[in-house]
Amino acid sequence: MSLSNIIQLGIKELRGLARDPVLLVLIVYSFTLSVYTAATAMPETLNRAPIAIVDEDRSPLSTRIVSAFYPPLFTPPELITRSEMDRRMDAGSDTFALNIPPDFQRDLLAGRQPVIQLNVDATRMSQAFSGSGYVQTIVTAEVNEFAARYRATGEQPVDLAMRARFNPELNKIWFGSVVQIINNVTMLSIVLTGTALIREREHGTVEHLLVMPITPFEIMVGKVWSMALVVLVAAAASLALVVQGFLAVPIEGSVPLFLAGAALHLFATTSLGIFLATLAGSMPQFGLLLILTLLPLNILSGGTTPRESMPEEVQFIMQAAPTTHFVSLAQAILYRGATLDIVWPQFMALILIGLVLFSFSLGRFRKSLK
Amino acid sequence: MTRESPVPAEAFPATPPVASLVNVGLRYGKTLALDNITLDIPAGCMVGLIGPDGVGKSSLLSLVAGARVVQQGQIEVLGGDIASARHRSRVCPQIAYMPQGLGKNLYPNLSVFENIDFFGRLFGHDRREREERIARLLGRTGLAPFASRPAGKLSGGMKQKLGLCCALIHDPDLLILDEPTTGVDPLSRRQFWDLIDDIRRERPGMSVIVATAYMEEAARFDWLAAMNAGRVLAVGAPGDLLRRTGAGTLDEAFIALLPEESRATYHKVELRPRTHRPDETLAIEAEGLTMRFGDFTAVDNVSFSIPQGEIFGFLGSNGCGKTTTMKMLTGLLPATEGIAKLFGQQVDPHDMAVRKRVGYMSQAFSLYVELTVRQNLDLHARLFHLPLAAIPGRIQEMARRFDLEDVMDVLPDALPLGIRQRLSLAVALIHGPEILILDEPTSGVDPVARDALWQELIDLSRNDNVTIFISTHFMNEAERCDRISLMHAGKVLVSDTPAAIVEKRGAATLEDAFIAYLEEAGAGTAADAPVPPVMAENIPEADPPSAPAVTQQTDPKRDSGASLFDFRRMFSYARLEGLELRRDPIRATLALVGSVLLMFIIGYGISMDVENLTFAVLDHDQTTISRSYSLDIAGSRYFVERPPITDYADLDRRMRAGEIALAIEIPPGFGRDVLRGRQVSIGVWYDGAMPQRAETVRGYIQGMHQRWLQERASRAAGAQTSAALFNIEIRYRYNPDVESLPAIVPAVIPLLLLMIPAMLTALSVVREKELGSIVNLYVTPTTRLEFLLGKQLPYVLLAMFNFILLVSLAIFFFGVPLKGSFAALTLGAFLYVITATGMGLLISTFMNSQIAAIFGTSILTLVPAVQFSGLTEPVSSLEGGGAFIGHIYPTTHFITIARGTFSKALGFADLSHAFWPLLIAIPVLLGLGAVLLKKQAS
């Protein structure tokens, strides 16, 4: 093994990358615009939720309730009749339909506990879930305020002092931007090393290298370090400029520690890129394999939805994926300010997965050359 | 005098020209490919376009064939303007075009028979006629025994014969062949031309236009046009050209015709006999070298020994084992049997020292096109560990020697092939190797550059005593070698000096001698030899009685060229696509398993149910009341309790590590204060790192807190509950338990039925563009709509199969009931997959590479489908551009249908509003695709 060969081969990769405008644009896009749009496009909890109201009471109170719904949380409510309600919900025109029964105000003041019916289209999970909470709160507030003029209401004896840690306002930009960086680190490292190897094979240059005094190990390490370096630098720049700078997301923990974790992650994913490239016969096949690999890595690693709600078998299998540990250490360091004494298990896991993937890919790479 | 006005040769005045070009120009971006060419190509004879690579021969032929858009000037072919689409569609059944590249317009996964059959269908032959014609063509070309072999597995010569069969299936009047014999061995080459002669004898009126780089072939043609740098240098019969230039061979004649400045660099190759040195050692030895791939023996017991300083030539057909032998010598391939030795030492792939003494140049240009000439030299110098101080000098020296000084900072792609090959040689020599192994270094290089390269090789051998092992297809190059070996089917047939070989066979030329050897080895028999025209045994009954009958039979089909839509041609493409898909395992896997796999992933991954959240309690109170509070939380299915928190530091550490998502602090005296009705406050910390989860946690904990309070209140007050003013009764419709799967699964099916079918359809078109077989659309009567619908059909069927798979998975595996009309869902799915594949076709019209098609299609389908189609947010909640896209995007409407039938128990009548947009989208997408698809290369 010769360090100078590894360095030379890596520099060659960097020079090659510098001349590939398509990949350069992809890298820049992934770590700037894509991070920005992903961060800001995360839907707010509720935006213009379509609501319709069947007002059978037509009292001051019911009018008050109707006028309490307005954009941006809800669309201006459609006033409909009872008979229209089912049809509209079937057609998907409304997510919510509120039915205020006849004599609602009178019964309320008489203390007869009238019932308002709220119909929710539960096929629209996210909106249905958070929206119905809002509808309840809004209606209750209006009714309480109205009733307060006529009768006194009691106070709750025990209250909750709730505090969200690490992201007090539950700002989704904080979450979205970092998740996007994590996903792009995975995607780009696989794409860059994989296409670099396939390009060499298609041009016949791999063969050319192998008749020189160079080993497959040196070729592979040359690709791994250079492409990992590119992604690492891009990720660091994106974190500093786009996330901390432009989006003004506060980072709790140590960025160098995160980058160290990212470097370990890259060791594993670049090896994975080489592995996929040895499986694929051509660039398009690589593209198809990439889709089938990236989606589970991104979706099931806990970056998109919480891991604990996935079936246990899935959680177990995903322990073998580098992204799972990377997502976990990235969230711990960046949001919760965790230090090495907290995240060392993830570091160890990444080293182990990286070593296994690297040696496995090296074996496949050697074999694929024959 | 080299630029005399190219007038039609006087020898052919009788018939009008088959093609006539007036002031034709063609540009690719900045490059001028054809420069104001005026030329009449005579009809009814063999016409040759000669000249080196990249002078515009192929461009000219593709223009004449109607495969490329005419940019400038006028071209008349078969009595009409080829730029007119109407004329093209009328004459295209009379023209056959075989593009450059071995088997470029063939489908490598299809068998020999299927390939010809495909073309027969495109030209509207019925089954019987096709079978007759194919049997006849296969018989004549000797391909009959290989009818079921995939085209990709044929040798170069056989591929070209197959290409010819495909071109001849419709009895063309004009046959256009672009370098049909480049890279084909001498015997196959000779057989190919015999075949053409045979066919011309049978159809004397047929015109043939051939581009070739082999001057010895061109000598047999009737009429030649010599081209250089986008211009025609001279035209006339071969004899004419020789007379005019006073040259002995066409090679020399061509060089004489070149303008002064191109000729300046040319020197005749100076041959010097090798002087035998007394201390001569063997540089390369092979003893019984054998290589097997499975049960195929690529190299069979090959032995030779080459002394130092010799130029050893290696000849043989494509796929005869030359390259494999070379790879074994370099250690790239370990031999199955036998020994290869370099400098008396056995080749060991791990021996780096030997590699430093060898220089290798592989068949195609294999240097880094993304590095400049200098960077390429520099990289290799460093990789060979030349002393750092010596590198700049060495680079300088190589640049001077190979005349690269002017192009040091140019990228190789910008250089002509000849200079690139010089660069390859310079790189192979940078470390001063003692052995050079060169695999077809002159293939595709023009005569001037080829001679220059050979001069270098001779100098290296004679001056520096470098051993050169070289393979070539050119006989004049073989004659320059000290010794040559002829290989066939993995075996060495003969090994000697060129003169001795000619003498031994008693042949006139080296080529004749070789062909004699090849025929003796069985190359010319069963497999390749031309067989008499009609193979009676292959045609069950009623042989075509005579040629005229066939011609008559074919007349009606010529009209079909003009017809607007022909189902047979459409099904022909559909059949082709189906066969291709069946034989490409990765694409087929993605098509079948991909969507199912993704459904699992998304079904499990995108879950809105948040369960099994970890929490821990910091209980300062430790009373029954405080414990009842935490037990209440631990008892719910949403939370899992972890060991209690000891202090604030513990709380902080465990939250940072992500071990607990929720921490609850119960203050001291909590139980007492609650009993006394005093205001107390419970501290709750939850992890906000993942906002969606945090919101859910907040909701859960608030709800549980309320319940706990109510319970306590009701227990305290007995029956007398502190009554609420009013109640809100929530009806979660369609999904009463508010579970994720019933909500997600019906919406995911549209997503999966969009992305993968669209991508596969786009790929199927772009693949043809990238591999070159799209030319079959350009030059056959196929219309754009036939092509698109034919490509679409198999993927629609596949997507419907996927639909059934996904629905079964949803119902039987995920347990999501289908409450409404299955018929409505299926019809909706059918219309939807037509729009999905239609989008793929539309996208394919502006994508040129397969990798771009993959990424482009995923972005163009996934983003609108996920964000604007009501998957999470209903379309009515969107604003601006997103809302517009959402309203017209087909996914929106199919999600409505899927949710309606799955969750809302609806049928056709309730969902009619969602079917109309799909019905409208289909003709719009297909129409746009047909308009934007190009019927010619531009």
pLDDT score of A226: 95
pLDDT digits (tens, 9 = 90+) for B553-567: 344 444 444 567 888
- Whether residues A334 and A232 share a domain: the answer is yes
pLDDT tens sequence across A232-262: 999 999 999 988 888 888 888 899 999 999 9
* pLDDT at site B541: 37
Which whole number is the average pLDDT over A53-67? 92
Answer yes or no: do B572 and B628 share one domain.
Answer: no
The answer, for A126 touching chain B at a CB cutoff of 8 Å, is: yes
Give chain A's domain count.
2
Q: What pLDDT, on a 0 to 100 scale, did the predictor assign at position B716?
A: 65
Last residue of a domain, one of A120, A148, A176: A148
Query: B28 or B45: which carries more pLDDT confidence?
Result: B45
- Positive or negative, the Cα torsion across B322, B325, B331, B332? positive
Could you tell me what percent of chain B has a pLDDT over 90? 21
Most confident of B26-30, B299-303, B788-792: B788-792
* Same domain as A347, residue A223: yes
Tens of pLDDT, residues B788-813: 999 999 999 999 999 999 999 999 98
The gap between the terminal CA atoms of chain B, to the nearest Å, is 34
- pLDDT of A96 > 50? The answer is yes
Judgement on whether residues B763 and B860 belong to the same structural domain of the protein: yes
Residue A151: per-residue pLDDT: 56
B835: pLDDT confidence band, cut at 50, 70 and 90? very high
Neighbour count for residue A313 (Cβ, 10 Å) = 9
- What burial class does residue B247 get, using C-beta atoms within 10 Å of its C-beta: 0-12 exposed, 13-18 middle, 19+ buried? middle
Q: Which residue has the higher pLDDT, B88 or A153?
A: B88
Residue B658 is assigned to a structural domain of this protein: yes
**Residues A30 and A65 placed together within one structural domain of the fold:** no
The answer to whether A295 contacts B613, with C-beta atoms less than 8 Å apart, is no
pLDDT of residue B448: 74
Highest mean pLDDT among A260-269, B164-173, B711-720: A260-269
The verdict on A283 touching B (C-beta cutoff 8 Å) is yes
Please indicate, yes or no, whether residues A236 and A356 belong to a single structural domain of this protein: yes
**Domain match, B800 and B900 both:** yes
- How much is the average pLDDT of B119-144? 87
Nearest to B762 by CA among B706, B841, B873, B864: B841
User: Given an 8 Å threshold on Cβ–Cβ distance, is A157 in contact with B680?
Assistant: yes
| Banded pLDDT at A41 (limits 50, 70, 90) | low
pLDDT of residue B723: 53
Min Cα distance B877 → chain A (Å) is 5
pTM of the model: 0.79
pLDDT of residue A155: 52
Chain A residue numbers with beta carbons less than 8 Å from the beta carbon of B623 are: none
Is A187 within 8 Å of A294 (Cβ atoms)? yes
> Dihedral (C-alpha) B245, B249, B254, B259: value to the nearest 10 degrees?
-50
| Amino acid, res. B362 | S
Domain membership flag for residue A161: no
For residue A99, is it within any domain?
yes
Domain C-terminal end among B261, B294, B322? B261
Residue A154 maps to a domain: no
pLDDT of residue B588: 80
Last residue of a domain, one of A99, A116, A148: A148
Q: Average pLDDT for residues B645-649, to the nearest whole number? A: 90
Residues of A in contact with B655 (CB under 8 A): 165-166, 336
In a domain, B750, yes or no: yes
Confidence at residue B346, expressed as pLDDT on a 0 to 100 scale? 84
Lowest model confidence (mean pLDDT) among A311-320, B257-266, B916-925: B257-266
Does residue A323 lie within any of the structural domains?
yes
A149 to chain B, any CB pair closer than 8 A? The answer is no
CA-nearest of B925, B928, B907, B929 to B917 is B925
Same domain, A301 and A324: yes
Choose the closest CB to B874 out of A50, A132, A203.
Answer: A50
Strand order in the sheet with B467-471: B358-361, B435-439, B467-471, B311-316, B483-488, B491-496
Are A306 and B690 an interchain contact pair (Cβ–Cβ within 8 Å)? yes
**pLDDT, mean of residues B525-545:** 39
**Number of domains making up chain B:** 3
Is A332 at the interface with chain B, CB within 8 A? yes
Quick one: pLDDT at residue B724? 66
Is pLDDT larger for residue A260 or for residue B525?
A: A260
CA dist list (Å): B793 to B638, B837, B841: 48, 9, 11
pLDDT above 80 for B549? no
For every residue of B534-569, DSSP letters joined together read --GGGS-S-----HHHHHHHHHHHHHHTT-S--HHH
Q: Which two tokens stand for residue B76?
A: 């008349």
CA B507/CA B537 separation, integer angstroms:
37
Do A15 and A119 fall into the same domain? no
> What pLDDT is recorded for position B559?
45
Kindly state whether residues B153 and B178 are assigned to the same domain. yes
Give the model's pLDDT for residue B223. 93
Same-domain check for residues A197 and A332:
yes
Q: What is the CATH number of the domain that holds B241?
A: 3.40.50.300
Q: In the prediction, which pLDDT does B219 show? A: 86
Residues of chain B contacting residue A124, judged by C-beta atoms under 8 Å apart = 743, 870, 872-874
Q: Does A101 touch chain B (CB under 8 A)?
A: no
The reply to whether B582 and B617 lie within a common domain is no
Q: If we measure between CA atoms, which residue out of A181, A365, A366, A200 comes closest to residue A271?
A: A365
Q: Of all residues in chain B, what percent carry a pLDDT higher than 70? A: 91
Examine the domain organization and report whether B667 and B762 are in the same domain: no
Q: What is the distance between the alpha carbons of residues A335 and B688, in angstroms, rounded to a whole number?
A: 9
A332 and A258 within one domain = yes
Do A193 and A83 share a structural domain? no
Whether B383 and A5 lie within 8 Å, measured CB to CB: yes
Q: What is the pLDDT of residue B555?
A: 42
Is residue B547 pLDDT above 80, yes or no? no
pLDDT of residue A134: 81
What's the CA gap between A182 and A193, in Å, rounded? Answer: 17
Say whether both B746 and B858 belong to one domain: yes
Q: What pLDDT is recorded for position B278?
A: 66
Residue B557 has a pLDDT of 42
Smallest CA–CA distance, residue A266 to chain B, in Å, is: 22
Per the domain annotation, does A7 fall within a domain?
Answer: yes
Mean pLDDT of B672-700: 84
Residue B691 distance to chain A (closest CA, Å): 5
Average pLDDT value for residue range B517-532: 57
Dist. CA B887–CA B865, nearest whole Å:
11
More confident residue, B104 or B535: B104
> A65 and A126: one domain?
yes
pLDDT of A175 reads 81
Q: What distance in Å separates the CA atoms of residue B218 and residue B212, rounded to the nearest whole number?
A: 7
Answer whether residue B10 shows pLDDT above 70: no
- Tell me how many residue pairs between chain A and chain B have CB atoms under 8 A apart: 354
Q: How confident is the model at residue B526 (pLDDT cuts 50, 70, 90)?
A: very low
Residue A176 belongs to some domain of the structure: yes
Domain that holds residue B637: 613-717
Q: What is the rounded CA–CA span in Å between residue A287 and residue B693?
A: 33
Q: What pLDDT score does B717 carry?
A: 59
Query: Are A137 and A171 contained in the same domain?
Result: no
| Average pLDDT estimate for B733-739 | 77
Q: What is the mean pLDDT of chain B?
A: 83
Q: Which residues of B touch A163 (CB under 8 A)?
A: 683-686
Q: Residues B813, B906: one domain? A: yes
Q: What's the token pair of residue A28? A: 């820049």
Q: Which residues of A77-110 are buried (b: 16+ CB within 10 A; e: fewer)?
A: beebeeebbeebbbbbbbbbbbbbeeebbebbbe
What was the pLDDT predicted at B718?
Answer: 53
pLDDT at residue number B322: 84
Q: Which of B606, B733, B878 sits opposite A119 (nearest CB)?
A: B733
In this structure, the answer to whether residues B911 and B764 fall within a common structural domain is yes
Question: Is the pLDDT at A365 greater than 50, yes or no?
Answer: yes
Q: In chain A, what is the greatest distance between 2 CA atoms, to the nearest angstrom? A: 95
Mean pLDDT, range A323-347, rounded to an integer: 89
What pLDDT sits at residue A7? Answer: 92
A193 and A285 housed in the same domain: yes
In a domain, B72, yes or no: yes
Reduced 3-state DSSP string for chain A: CCHHHHHHHHHHHHHHHHCCHHHHHHHHHHHCHHHHHHHHHCCCCCCCECEEEEECCCCHHHHHHHCCCCCCCECCCEECCHHHHHHHHHHCCCCEEEEECCCHHHHHHCCCCCEEEEEEECCCHHHHHHHHHHHHHHHHHHHHHHHHCCCCCCCCCEEEEEEEECCCCCCHHHHHHHHHHHHHHHHHHHHHHHHHHHHHHHHCHHHHHHCCCCCHHHHHHHHHHHHHHHHHHHHHHHHHHHHHHHCCCCCCCCHHHHHHHHHHHHHHHHHHHHHHHHHCCCHHHHHHHHHHHHHHHHHCCCCCCCHHHCCHHHHHHHHHCHHHHHHHHHHHHHCCCCCHHHHHHHHHHHHHHHHHHHHHHHHHHHHHCC
- Domain assignment of residue B339, yes or no: no
Query: What is residue B7's predicted lDDT score, i.e. its pLDDT?
Result: 41
In this structure, what CATH number is given to the domain that contains residue A65?
3.40.1710.10
Contact B383 A93 (CB under 8 A): no
Considering the domain boundaries, does residue B595 fall inside one?
yes
In B, minimum Cα distance to A173 occurs at B691
Given a cut of 80, is residue B418 above it in pLDDT? no
Nearest CA in chain B to A157: B679
pLDDT-based confidence at B8, cuts 50/70/90?
very low
Over range B297-324, report the average pLDDT. 85
Q: To probe the interface with B, which of A108, A125, A140, A276 has the most B CB atoms within 10 Å?
A: A125
Average pLDDT over residues B312-337: 83
Least confident of A186-195, B256-265, B543-552: B543-552
Instruction: Verify whether the Cβ–Cβ distance A118 to B728 is below 8 Å.
Output: yes
Per-residue pLDDT tens digits for B592-635:
788 888 888 887 776 666 778 889 999 998 888 888 888 888 88
Has residue A69 been placed in a domain?
yes
Q: How far apart are CA B361 and CA A207, in angstroms?
A: 10
Q: Which domain holds residue A80?
A: 51-148
Chain B residues touching A161 at Cβ < 8 A: 681-684
B683, B717, B751 - which closes a domain: B717
pLDDT at B269 over 80: no
Residues B149 and B102 in one domain: yes
Q: Which residues of A touch B850 (CB under 8 A)?
A: 282-284, 287
Cα–Cα dist B719/B713, whole Å: 10
Give yes or no for B391 touching A (CB within 8 A).
no
Q: Are residues B594 and B625 in the same domain?
A: no
CA pair distance B21, B235, nearest whole angstrom: 14
Q: Are B643 and B653 in contact (CB under 8 A)?
A: no
| Residue where a domain terminates, one of A95, A119, A148 | A148
Which one of B851, B902, B903, B916 makes the best mutation probe of the A interface by having the most chain A beta carbons within 10 Å? B851
Could you tell me if residue A162 is inside a domain? no
| B182 and B73 fall within a common domain | yes
Q: Distance between CA atoms of B422 and B403, rounded to whole angstroms?
A: 8
| B671: pLDDT strictly greater than 80 | yes
CATH number at residue B698: 3.40.1710.10
